[in-house]
Chains A and B, each alone.
Chain A
Amino acid sequence: MKRLLPWLALLAFASVPMWLKDPYLLNAFITTGIFIVAAMSLNLLLGYTGQLSLGHVAFFGIGAYTSALVSLGFDVELVGGFHVVHEPWPVWLGFVLAVVISGLCGYIVGKLSFRVRGAYFVIVTISFAEVVRLVALNWVELTQGPLALTQIPPMRLGFPAVGYLDFYSKQSNFYLVFGVVVLSYVIISRLVNSRIGRAMVALKENESLAVSVGIDVTGYLVLAAVVSAGIAGAAGSLYAHYLKIIDPDVFLFLYTVTMVIMVITGGKGTLAGPIVGGLIFGFVPVATRKFASPEVQWILYGLFMILIVFVLPQGIVPAIEKWFGIREKPPVATVAETGTQDTR
């Protein structure tokens, strides 16, 4: 049953565009999917290495802007009258570069901030996100500032000889996002179920012990930051090419908070957690909009969140696993889980 569940979920979601024709709901699925990818990337850092990146939206936004600028082209005058002109490149290349450049930013932030951990890492990531937002807002020549980058082309895949597929329709975008969700899931699950993942869990649990068995702690933290930032960049790229317009608001702190909520309520440190949390909080506004005004929707959103954190402090997925006893570990988990907090 445990083995079958992911495949059933996969089939169920793959069939959605076949029976769901309502564009509003399809749109909700697509944006939720994009945020699920971002939440999964945050979960790799928060859930497995125990480091909270409160500026995670920076990597998302950098991915979005990179991808948009690469596919739109730009003409920027740098200091000394030096012009950088970039002709538009294919969209898929923008996607790849979004992953690479976000990953690179993850590397830099990781290298700089993992000398110190915990609160310092949180502060560095928040400041990083704020700096990037200010750049996007004020470097008008490159980013159009608050006027937003518009007419971003949709994703286009294919080969010159065979023909191209443009992702205009909601259906095609659904499958594109779906594909990235699955790919990110596979990458993260392979990572965390390997010796690399064990090293990450080890350093979250007890850093000096991890070091004493020969684990290069900083190296694995930086690796986690790179992969996490890269995946967040991919989500940002999808976002840009789906909405076809981005402005500096993609760097809003609110988006980071949304990701954190998805991870925490779904269950941090579990593979399915961000997906479950993402689906719930992606669809709370959809479910409530029929009977509530936008302000009331936000209140309900907050109440619902508090309720989950109160009733299921470990998150939804661990609670379900415990309920059905489908955890590989023995049922004494509660004892140790409360015990881990005071080992640090």
Chain B
Amino acid sequence: MTSVESSQPRSVLSIEHIAVHFGGLVAISDMNFVVNEGEVVSLIGPNGAGKTTAFNVITGFLRPSCGEVRYRGSSLNNLKPHEVTSLGLARTFQRTSVFQSVSVFENVMIGLHRRGRSRLWDTLLALPRERQSENELKARADEILALVGIERRSRELAGSLAYGDQRLLGVALALATDPSMLLLDEPVSGMNATETARFMRLLDRLRGLNVTILLVEHDMPMVMGVSDRVIVLNYGKIIAEGPPAAIQGNPEVIQAYLGQGARKRARY
């Protein structure tokens, strides 16, 4: 276990007193946590615990009923999703989310949208800047595809990719926005063991690039294998937080996942 705490952690993302209510339903109540620079943090909890809701709040897809989300000092509360992305916070979606009817390469080109420097006039009048910018984007798209390891699928239609490759393409799309932090929503759900192992290697590479990662995942071996810290949610509340080893033995967590009976049997 690498000790992040020793090297004076700098928090990049902070969730302060966030609550989300859908009418009478409390999806999240008073959630507080921070993610530090370069960390891999996992958000776990049973279905309906509020994990994806938390993601939607952070990335601007949902407005919190109260509380504040801050990223590198700036508040994200009133930003639209595309503005959050421009601050360097990118996300993937739970369901496979790729642009199905265009090629894998075009997908990443779409993801690179914000990096393009050509303006409307450059495009209409075919000024040199247009071609320059396009060539830069193409080179960058190839780099990203190579990074996630699907460069050989480049010319194929995204919709025809194997499931695992589509998930990787989803990550490639997020990476294309040049994020300093990635939010991955159940990236390995539905993947087989080989695909999961491949995905964990990708996470290692991303970590090498100094990308901070917040992960929502149900695959416990993976969560325990890659995370620096794990945050456990249940019924919209944080019930435990700490390094994987501590979480695995936490009685409240066991109870949340397996119910009362399990608590009695798990001799703690």
Contacts and interface: CB of A to CB of B under 8 A. Distances in A.
B137 interface: yes
Interface string A310-338: 00000000000000000001101101110
B118 A339 contact: no
A201 B113 CA distance: 12
Interface in B106-140: 106, 109-114, 116, 118, 120, 123-124, 126, 130, 133-134, 137
Given A191-B124, A201-B99, A213-B173, A335 B160 contact: yes
B91 to A, nearest CB: 6
A343 interface: yes
A264 B90 CA distance: 36
Contacts of B85: 211-214
A18 B149 CA distance: 57
B158 interface: yes
A208 B61 contact: yes
Interface stretch (A58-66, A113-121, A215-223): A215-223
A190 B102 contact: no
A212 B106 contact: no
A196 interface: yes
B234 interface: no
A188 to B, nearest CB: 10
B78 interface: no
Contacts of B176: 213
B100 A336 contact: yes
A202 B100 contact: no
A169 interface: no
Interface in A186-209: 187, 190-191, 194-196, 198-199, 201-202, 205-206, 208-209
A210 interface: yes
Nearest to B85: A214
Contacts of B81: 208, 211-212
Given A212-B174, A336-B159, A195 B113 contact: yes
Interface residues of B, number: 44
A340 interface: yes
B159 A213 contact: no
Given A212-B85, A214-B85, A201 B124 contact: no
A335 B159 contact: yes
Contacts of B65: none
Contacts of B123: 190-191, 194-196
A213 B177 contact: yes
B156 interface: yes
A211 B99 CA distance: 12
Contact of A330 (B106, B110, B156): B156
B82 A205 contact: no
B155 interface: yes
Interface string B155-167: 1111110000000
B173 to A, nearest CB: 6
Interface in B168-199: 173-174, 176-177
B212 interface: no
Contacts of A336: 100-101, 157-160
A340 B110 contact: no
A343 B110 CA distance: 17
A329 B106 CA distance: 10
A198 B106 contact: yes
Interface in A109-135: none
A212 B157 contact: no
Interface string A154-170: 00000000000000000
A292 B90 CA distance: 62
A273 B128 CA distance: 29
B110 A214 contact: no
Nearest to A339: B159
B93 A201 contact: no
A249 B90 CA distance: 51
Most chain B beta-carbon contacts within 10 A, residue among A190, A202, A213, A340:
A213
A337 B101 contact: yes
Interface centre among B82, B118, B134, B158 (most CB of A within 10 A): B82
Given A187-B124, A190-B123, A194-B118, A210 B91 contact: no
B111 A340 contact: no
Given A202-B99, A212-B91, 9 more contacts: A195-B133, A206-B98, A211-B81, A211-B85, A212-B90, A214-B113, A332-B156, A336-B158, A336-B160
Interface of A: 187, 190-191, 194-196, 198-199, 201-202, 205-206, 208-217, 223, 329-330, 332-333, 335-337, 339-340, 343
Interface of B: 59, 61, 80-82, 85-86, 90-91, 93, 97-103, 106, 109-114, 116, 118, 120, 123-124, 126, 130, 133-134, 137, 155-160, 173-174, 176-177
26 contacts: A190-B124, A196-B123, A198-B110, A209-B93, A209-B97, A210-B110, A211-B81, A211-B85, A212-B82, A212-B91, A212-B93, A212-B174, A213-B85, A213-B90, A213-B173, A213-B176, A214-B82, A215-B113, A223-B120, A332-B157, A333-B157, A336-B158, A337-B101, A339-B159, A340-B100, A340-B159
